[in-house]
Amino acid sequence: MRPPRDAELTAGFSDHFSSHAQAYAKFRPRYPAALFHYLAVVAPGTHLAWDCGTGNGQAAVGLAERFAGVLATDPSAAQIANARLHPRVEYRVTQYDTGLEAGSVQLVTSAQALHWMDVDAFVRESRRVLQPGGVLAVWCYSLCRIERSIDELVEFFYRVTVGAFWPPERRLVDEGYRTVALPIDELDVPPFEMVADMTLAQFVGYIETWSAVQRSIAARGRDSIEAFTRTIGERWGAPSTARRVTFPLYIRAGELR
């Protein structure tokens, strides 16, 4: 591998998560093992995968259970510093300049990160590093499900209370990445979802990792998130009660054309 160019590391980088990278690593849910099994099956091999925009390595570590090696890159040094270690994952602080040999990768992934990227630059490097028949897979998740009485509070908080604080790119997540122009021959991907059992504190911790919540706190303090915590607590039950939280995944995958 050649080292990435230092000047490329943060060019055009919209950093919404470095300031709370520890919380992101602690409270974000984990992707299902079945997803990584599926990706390993549809890829032409399992020698090497590149996970772009890896954050704290949630997808990278899952990929490493199925791939011999994973290069996990992110332009945020704080996110990489909080990444989960794995013997088959190599982390690098870089954006799109991977340093990988051309045609050396069987799978390229981006988990909950494509909306922050320069898609053309990401596709260009993916095309360079993927071997013939290699697969590009991107996915995201938006609002979770718990139960109807709680879900309606979460949706109101998401769309109204902090709605004005979402960066414009967030709409791509709400659209399930379907409006992103990806030059791939789409696979018919089966449905996948993340499932996590969370206490009230863990769930609110997850909500606080939202970029809009962090921007809201910076602009007007913690009143909104504290009011949300009180309101949702009235419907949660005992704070120590673990609720089943389900996150539908929106996945696009296929060979680059």
Q: What is the mean pLDDT of each run of 10 residues along the chain (257 residues)?
A: 40 50 74 98 98 96 98 94 95 96 98 96 98 98 96 98 96 97 97 97 96 96 97 96 97 97
pLDDT at 23: 66
pLDDT at 22: 72
pLDDT at 28: 82
Nearest one of 166, 178, 32, 53 to 114, comparing CA atoms: 53
> Which one-letter amino acid corresponds to residue 224?
S
Q: How many CB atoms lie within 10 A of CB 152?
A: 11
> Using CA atoms, how far apart are residues 102 and 240, in angstroms rounded to an integer?
50
Q: How many CB atoms lie within 10 A of CB 76?
A: 24
> Using CA atoms, how far apart are residues 34 and 48, in angstroms rounded to an integer?
18
The Cα-based distances of 257 to 43, 82, 185, 202 in angstroms read 15, 35, 7, 42
Domain ranges of the chain: 6-256
pLDDT in tens, 85-112: 999 999 999 999 999 999 999 999 999 9
CATH number for the domain formed by residue range(s) 6-256:
3.40.50.150
Nearest one of 57, 87, 198, 67 to 135, comparing CA atoms: 67
pLDDT at 26: 83
> Using CA atoms, how far apart are residues 98 and 190, in angstroms rounded to an integer?
30
* CA count, 13 A, side-chain hemisphere, 106: 16
Which residues lie across from 48 on neighbouring strands? 69
> Using CA atoms, how far apart are residues 4 and 122, in angstroms rounded to an integer?
14
Q: List CB contacts of 243: < 8 A, sequence separation 6 or more.
A: 146, 147, 150, 197, 198, 199, 200, 203, 236, 237
DSSP letter (8 states) at residue 158:
I
Structure tokens belonging to residue 249: 């995944």
Collapse the DSSP code of 66 into the 3-class scheme (helix H, G, I; strand E, B; otherwise coil) and give the result.
coil
Please report how the helices 223-236 and 211-220 are oriented relative to each other, as an axis angle in degrees rounded to 10. 130
Which residues lie across from 184 on neighbouring strands? 256
